[in-house]
Amino acid sequence: MTHLNFNAFEPNVRAWILKIADIADKHSIKAYVVGGTVRDALLYRPSLDLDIVVEANALEIAQKFAHLYKGQLVKHALFGTAQVTLPSSMTIDFVTARRETYSKPGALPDVTASTIADDLFRRDFTINAIACSINKESRGLIVDPYHGVDDLKRKCLRVMHEQSFIDDPTRLLRAVRYEARLGFKLESHTVIFFKQAVQHKAWLSVKPQRYFAEFMRVVAEPKALIAIKRLHQLRALHVPMMQMQYSLLRINALKKALPLAKACDVPDSLPLWLISLHEHHRPDDLLFALEHLGIHREYITSVVHSLEIEKLIGALSVKHMSRWDVYRRLNSYYAPVLCMAFVRAQGIAKKRIKQFITKDKNFTLKIDGNDIKTLGVKEGIQVKRLLEYVTQQSINHQELTKAGQLRLAKAFTE
């Protein structure tokens, strides 16, 4: 293939490409669409990403583009890159064509301005090392010096060179992510390079936060279960600072918990994955690792609380327990813990967790201190105690209306 039909791009993406091309042509700058944007267009897959490489100063063309279309510009002068966020929230990356060298494994690269061929060589896989010219005279011309189009046809993932995973170990995670997403397989030599990097524990050369950020992208994939299983098969299921263990029992529980979490509007599956994969037994060790990785505080709490799930299930398995007692026991836990507790529990404990998730978790008291004061109760402590009593009775007897809750409060004061 020598040319790409621009109709293969999403209409919105195509429109912005042509606007950027106009600026590039006006200033006699060679400009290209690269990477995943081109890959997905060749595969006829939708993609709203847009990466532009120019054989010139990308910061200058990005600045002109941002000014013309009222975008917010962020420059990264050290790497010759810029990012423009449009009013529609779409983000476009502008990159100066460059050559990269690594002073040591896992380090950030040293960059020098260069040609499109050098820029493509610095990429992770050949299928992402394809460029498409956007200039008017050569529009649609495919630049594919490393035979990425052939690898797309063969559905294989091939690294650019044998040191690729050593130079940037986050590519280990990217490899399984693309395998799962695209339904591709690692090329035979790439598998060898992958296993060599695993054997040398290449991820230790990368800052834990950076490697973990790539892990989060893996578990955010729609086919994350496939990707994580593949990491396990390749003995590459590692997260810096954390003890991880792939267990079929836990993964099967996770499969049941994921749709439940979605129904509960849990915004991110990351806590469920960490709950299912971590092998920590001491809360202090787990807390230290999670805090160091920079995870959201609510997620940290969920993962640490997961150590209490079996104890929690046991407490909910007693024969006699009021609805209020169940509420008090469960109300301090975030949804990911409740979802995992539900799929692991059996019998009466499972029924109680389900009842809490589907009904009592979202209970709201319709009356407040001002309503209580109309009943003649004035002191703060008495008001607080009465509200707690009404909450307890409302949950036990499913009194959800304001009038009914006021009746409960009035009956208590008489």
Residue 1 lies in a domain: no
pLDDT band, residue 414 (cuts 50/70/90): low
The number of folded domains in the chain is: 4
Q: Is 131 in the same domain as 176?
A: no
Looking at residue 63, its pLDDT comes to: 95
Boundary (domain end) residue, out of 339, 362, 385: 362
Boundary (domain end) residue, out of 106, 134, 154: 154
> What ranges in 147-247 are assigned the alpha helix state H?
148-154, 164-167, 170-182, 188-199, 208-219, 224-233
Q: Mean of the pLDDT values across residues 292-310? A: 93
Q: Is 68 in the same domain as 202?
A: no
Looking at residue 388, its pLDDT comes to: 87
Q: Is 302 in the same domain as 214?
A: no
Q: Is 303 in the same domain as 383?
A: no
CA distance 251 to 164: 31
Q: Of all helices (H) and strands (E), which one includes residue 100?
A: strand 98-101
Residue 292 lies in a domain: yes
Q: Is 303 in the same domain as 409?
A: no
Q: Is 139 in the same domain as 249?
A: no
CATH of the domain at 149: 3.30.460.10
Q: Of all helices (H) and strands (E), which one includes residue 263?
A: helix 248-263
Rounded to two decimals, the pTM is 0.86
Q: Is 37 in the same domain as 135?
A: yes
Looking at residue 136, its pLDDT comes to: 93
Per-residue pLDDT at 390 exceeds 80:
yes
Of 42-51, 151-160, 354-363, 367-376, which range is least confident?
367-376
Q: Is 173 in the same domain as 54?
A: no
Helices 335-344, 248-263: axis angle to 10 degrees equals: 130
Residue 374 lies in a domain: yes
- Full domain range(s) for residue 404: 369-413
Contact by Cβ (8 Å): 90, 49: no
CATH of the domain at 290: 1.20.58
Query: pLDDT, tens digit, for every residue of 131-158?
Result: 999 999 999 999 999 999 999 999 999 9
Q: Is 332 in the same domain as 400?
A: no
Q: Is 300 in the same domain as 375?
A: no
CATH of the domain at 180: 1.10.110.30
Q: Is 267 in the same domain as 320?
A: yes
Boundary (domain end) residue, out of 121, 154, 187: 154
Residue 34 lies in a domain: yes
Q: Is 33 in the same domain as 143?
A: yes
